[in-house]
Amino acid sequence: MEKTIVVALGGNAILEKDPTYEAQKAAVERTAKLLVRLVEKGYKVIITHGNGPQVGNLLLQQIAGDSDKTPALPLDSLGAMTQGSIGYWLSNSLAKYLHRAGIHKDVVPVVTQTVVDRNDRAFSRPTKPIGPFYTEEEVDILNLQNPMFVYREDSGRGWRRVVPSPRPVRILEIEGIKSLIDAGQIVIAAGGGGVPVVEQDDELVGVEAVIDKDFTAAKLAEQVHADEFLILTSVGNVYLDFGKPTQREITHIDANALNKLIAKKQFAEGSMLPKVTAAKEFVENVPDGKAIITYLDGLEDFIEHGAGTVITRWPESVPAK
């Protein structure tokens, strides 16, 4: 039986240093060529991705062009726009390499809405920085223009707007995604964590928020009951004592042991912590599934040799090195 895998792409899969269209497209081409290997191995593939730099650039363009005639669009719309553009880049590149490999499958990008709880505490405690840096004087003016926006000082570098980062509750289009996978298609979904929406009366309303892409990827993997949840990041393994002389890689770990390491603050916030937390939550909710954290360039090693850090619900026989 074919295994279903959800692949969560890190930012380096789409953007490295050069923010130009040509450079981003080249990064996507390289990523697509590697992802086709999963299809060749018989996986049913669902791809999700980040959009932080892209939505940040789009936000800057919106701010620069804001006027009565061309008012800036809200953040949820910008998220949907970047889902569309990145989905187009990925599907275009994947189609090329699938054709070269003699594989006849469609690649279907789905602009995805992620339902969040309107009572999530994140809405009263915005933490996710977006957009440009401002001086304190500029913030005083901005507060008069948009009193609902929140700005915070960022590590001595200036002030930035911060928005809520609520937890995902469910993927709205999940049944359509399942149908596409069952039909043998490759799906791109929930980019950038999905467009955040809340249930209000009998409708869904977009909100000014950014959902952590790793948590949404885990929710997506849970809702399709994936066999494997693969997080591709910038390092080959999760490490204990990262950056210290005692640093050592973890090859296999179970959810309970990982919980203990999280409690000891072994993983950096905004870096590895959301990834290991998302992986842990996936295996807790899908006990027969497994999560893997590795790097994009190690995808072939993962396919052929199972490289990377494997997270399971229950202990396995291979300990940390």
Interval 259-290: pLDDT, tens: 999 999 999 887 899 999 999 999 999 999 99
Please say whether the beta carbons of 172 and 76 come within 8 A: no
User: CA-to-CA distance for 143 and 166, rounded, in angstroms?
Assistant: 23
Q: Is 92 a catalytic residue?
A: no
Q: Quick check: helix, strand or coil at residue 137?
A: helix
* Residue showing tokens 């913030």: 139
Task: Work out whether strand 290-295 and strand 159-163 pair parallel, antiparallel, or are unpaired.
Answer: unpaired
Interval 141-193: pLDDT, tens: 988 888 888 898 877 888 988 899 999 999 999 999 999 999 999 999 999 99
Q: Is 213 a catalytic residue?
A: yes
Q: Which of 44, 51, 79, 128 is catalytic?
A: 128
Among 302, 114, 270, 138, CA closest to 207: 114
Among 267, 251, 269, CA closest to 259: 267
Flag whether pLDDT at 320 surpasses 80: no
Q: Which of 51, 131, 193, 213 is catalytic?
A: 213
Residue 1 pLDDT level (bands cut at 50, 70, 90): low
Structure tokens belonging to residue 88: 């187009």
* Residue showing tokens 């960022």: 154
Structure tokens belonging to residue 180: 């596409």
- Angle made by CA atoms 146, 151, 155, in degrees to the nearest 5: 160
Q: Structure pTM?
A: 0.91
Please say whether the beta carbons of 188 and 49 come within 8 A: yes
Q: To the nearest whole percent, how much of the chain has pLDDT over 90?
A: 67
In the prediction, which pLDDT does 317 show?
44
Interval 187-223: pLDDT, tens: 999 999 999 999 999 999 999 999 999 999 999 999 9
**Total number of residues shown for the chain:** 321
Provide the residue ranges of all domains of the chain, joining segments of one domain with +: 3-116+167-312, 127-163
Query: How many other CB atoms sit within 10 Å of the CB of residue 310?
Result: 24
Interval 4-17: pLDDT, tens: 999 999 876 887 77
* Mean pLDDT, rounded, for 119-123: 95
Q: Is 298 a catalytic residue?
A: no
CATH class of the domain comprising 3-116+167-312: alpha beta
- The CA–CA distances, whole Å, from 110 to 63, 72, 169, 232 equal 27, 24, 18, 20
Q: Which of 44, 105, 275, 280 is catalytic?
A: 275
Q: Is 275 a catalytic residue?
A: yes
Q: Which of 11, 52, 158, 206 is catalytic?
A: 11
User: CA-to-CA distance for 245 and 248, rounded, in angstroms?
Assistant: 9
In the prediction, which pLDDT does 31 show?
93
User: CA-to-CA distance for 105 and 231, rounded, in angstroms?
Assistant: 23
Residue 57 pLDDT level (bands cut at 50, 70, 90): confident
Q: Is 219 a catalytic residue?
A: no
User: CA-to-CA distance for 87 and 47, rounded, in angstroms?
Assistant: 10
